[in-house]
Structure formats: C-alpha cells, structure tokens
Amino acid sequence: MQSVYRKERRGLYRARDGWIFGVCKGIADYLDFSVFWCRVLTVLMAIFSSFWPIVVLYLVAALLMKPEPVLPLESDEDREFYHSYVSSRTMALHRLKQTFDRLERRIRRMEDIVTDRDYDWEKRLKD
C-alpha cells in the first residue's frame, strides 16, 4: 500500500524516515530514482565542488521542502489543509478554530431547542 501511495503522490516532500533531513530520499521518491544513487551523487557533488556549496544547497532544500505527510492525503481539502498547515501553522489553527466555533454554535442551537419548555418530549418519544 505504501508504494501505491508513493506513486500517487505528486508533490516533492522531505522523507520522514531519511538519514539527514530526508532530502535525498524525498528527491529519489519524487523522481522514482534509487535512494542509494541519489545519496552517492550528492556525496560526489559535495566532494567535487569543495563541499560547502552542496552542503548549503542541501540545507536550503531541507528548509524549503515540506515534510512528507504522515497519512496519505485522500482529498483536495486534505491536501489544501496540509499545505496551509505546513506553510503557516497560525493560519491553519485559525481555520480549525473557526470550524470548531461553527460546530459549537450549532450544538448550542440544538441544545436550546431541546431544552426549551415548549419542546414536546412526549410527542417526540412516541413518534
């Protein structure tokens, strides 16, 4: 099932189970390439480019790439929420708070109707 999930996935993510930040594994998964050879190419490029440029690029990639979702994203709404959460946690928390506030208002309205003196329990229970 995990390989099916990886084939469906369209975005470039850092792998959660990679060695160092998961950048090489994320790139290898995205390009459907061997993780071993991706790491070998990274090390060779680091050796031949005097080490620092590739290390800096690797760290920048680690900062810019979003971490791989823990669970598969099944709908566009899930995908949108995940990307908004990774981009701005305060915005995602604000969206969650609004959703729960709407739910709380609905529950209060239902409680007000049911606890109203005019609510006919006898009629409702007999139906």
For residue 123, give Cα distances in angstroms to 21, 101, 113, 117, 118. 63, 32, 15, 13, 11
Tens of pLDDT, residue by residue over 28-71, are 888 888 889 988 998 888 888 888 888 888 888 888 887 777 66
- Position 3 confidence tier, pLDDT thresholds 50, 70, 90: very low
- The answer to whether the beta carbons of residues 62 and 14 sit under 8 Å apart is yes
Interacting residues of 28 by C-beta distance below 8 A, sequence separation 6+ = 34, 35, 37, 38
pLDDT for 121: 66
Q: DSSP string of 29-43?
A: HHHT--HHHHHHHHH
